[in-house]
Structure 1
């Protein structure tokens, strides 16, 4: 088969080259402390989408920096006791998707919540407020400011806050919560479980936001990662700040967060992925220390993967 990246033998031991800042642990400890001081002010608005076996709500909560974040929330009817729950995260620049996509899990008795990432294609609020460029996307948003103002820091914390809100729901069993998503959704799945260790199961699929320096070295700073190219071309054409830039990006590098994960992990990787290169996916997987299993699509890239939704469903239904 054609090889886009390293050999499979190399991928299975690769752990990444993007720097991890020396104060990484303190950075995220400080971030979580900030989150603890946020009053989420959760609001549920009945949706116009109706189905006989679920109550559907547009849910809003306040995240760090005061942004109001939107999520779709579906609660099964006619259940007794506490339900399992599934949290879903979407791909980069997308949104929480259609209501109907969540119904198979609701029919199994799950409460399902799907978040709109702030400032992307859904209904969540982007309050801005960082110094420096906002050109090109969220990876470089806040890169010229204090690391505490990185945009993806805030989005990761939104994911954690949503998980905590779900776990605190009266009808949800906090010990039976799973998380899943593709691409950016896979990255947020991993970040959420890294920073909220009570998450029971996660199923990331070809995750984004990993090993930025490797992406750069492979000349794949395009498509989803294109803003890295924009940043250097427009703001550091001589690469005088290259090491500083990649080190700062290390705060929001999912492979660096992976060591915190305690969840059981069903990880799906693709070997011909030129959007989220295979090595950047394996760098995450190889840094996970909890119970894990790996599904490898040898002949697929960043695309629809047959049988993956079925595999995730079977994995999550054990909750």
Structure 2
């Protein structure tokens, strides 16, 4: 089998290399308390996009720090009573995509919601307000400020807050909610289900935002992780603060959140992935304690994993 990372037996044993901050759990409990104190001010605006079997809305809510967050919400009209919901998260720098992307789940009688990550390619607001660099990258946003200012902290909280909001909708069965996404969306899927443990099923594929130090050690700080190299070149060219920097990044390292997940997990990984290396994904997968299953694609990288979306639909139909 072609290999760009560890042999398979080592991947199944790998436990990550990025340092975990000693106050990691307290950090996230404090973050969740901040999120729960926010007045979400939820707003639903009917869309001009119409289909016969669903209603489409632009959904806005206020997240931590006062940012207004946007999502697209598609609600089926051909089912009676509370029904399941699927929440989708997009790839790095992307957005919610088209309305038609959500219609397959709506046709099955599921509500479908997709969130714009703050400050990326959609309509969500980035309120800024951190010291130091804000150039070109959300991993390093807030790295020169207090750990509570790390932008991905706020984005992870947005995912959990949105999920809690959806669970309160009268038409949604809060016990039958699933989350899905690939790359950044895969990392956010894991973070969301960790911070909102009522999520029953989650299907991440090649998750981003796991084991930053491993990416660095593999010399793969390019593509989605390019900003890590840029940060060192501009702000710590001799790596005097390397240990400190990776430890701070540990607060937003998804591998250390996943042991909170209670829902069932279906995860897809390509063993030729040089964007989110397999070992970084296994660092997270190996720490999941809930029921889980891994779909492995030996010859595939950071690309469509044939059949995985079909497996995901079948998996979510069991909600």
TM-score for the superposition, normalised by structure 2 = 0.99
Deviations along 1:76-101, one digit per CA (max 9) or x if unpaired, are: 00321101000000000000111111
Aligned counterparts, 1:88-103, within 5 A: 88-103=88-103
1:12 equivalent to 2:9? Answer no
Q: Secondary structure at the match of 1:266?
A: strand
Q: Which runs of 5+ in 2 are unaligned?
A: none
Question: CA shift at 1:136, angstroms?
Answer: 2.2
1:266 equivalent to 2:234? Answer no
Instruction: Check conservation: 2:18, 2:213, Cα contact below 8 A.
Output: yes
Residue equivalent to 1:51: 51
Instruction: Check conservation: 1:21, 1:248, Cα contact below 8 A.
Output: yes
Cα separation, 1, equivalents of 2:99 and 2:296:
29
Number of aligned residue pairs: 319
Cα separation, 2, equivalents of 1:14 and 1:20:
15
Aligned counterparts, 1:1-319, within 5 A: 1-319=1-319
Deviations along 1:135-187, one digit per CA (max 9) or x if unpaired, are: 12000000000000000000000000000001000110100000000000000
Cα separation, 1, equivalents of 2:56 and 2:270:
34
Question: CA shift at 1:240, angstroms?
Answer: 0.6
Cα separation, 1, equivalents of 2:79 and 2:259:
36
Cα separation, 2, equivalents of 1:248 and 1:22:
11
Instruction: Check conservation: 1:206, 1:302, Cα contact below 8 A.
Output: yes
- Superposed CA RMSD in Å reads 0.6
Instruction: Check conservation: 1:221, 1:227, Cα contact below 8 A.
Output: yes
Cα separation, 2, equivalents of 1:40 and 1:297:
40
With 215-224 and 97-106 compared, the bigger mean Cα shift is at: 97-106
Question: CA shift at 1:49, angstroms?
Answer: 1.1
Question: CA shift at 1:15, angstroms?
Answer: 1.2
Instruction: Check conservation: 2:268, 2:305, Cα contact below 8 A.
Output: no
Question: CA shift at 1:197, angstroms?
Answer: 0.7
Question: CA shift at 1:304, angstroms?
Answer: 1.2
Runs of 4+ residues deviating >4 angstroms: none
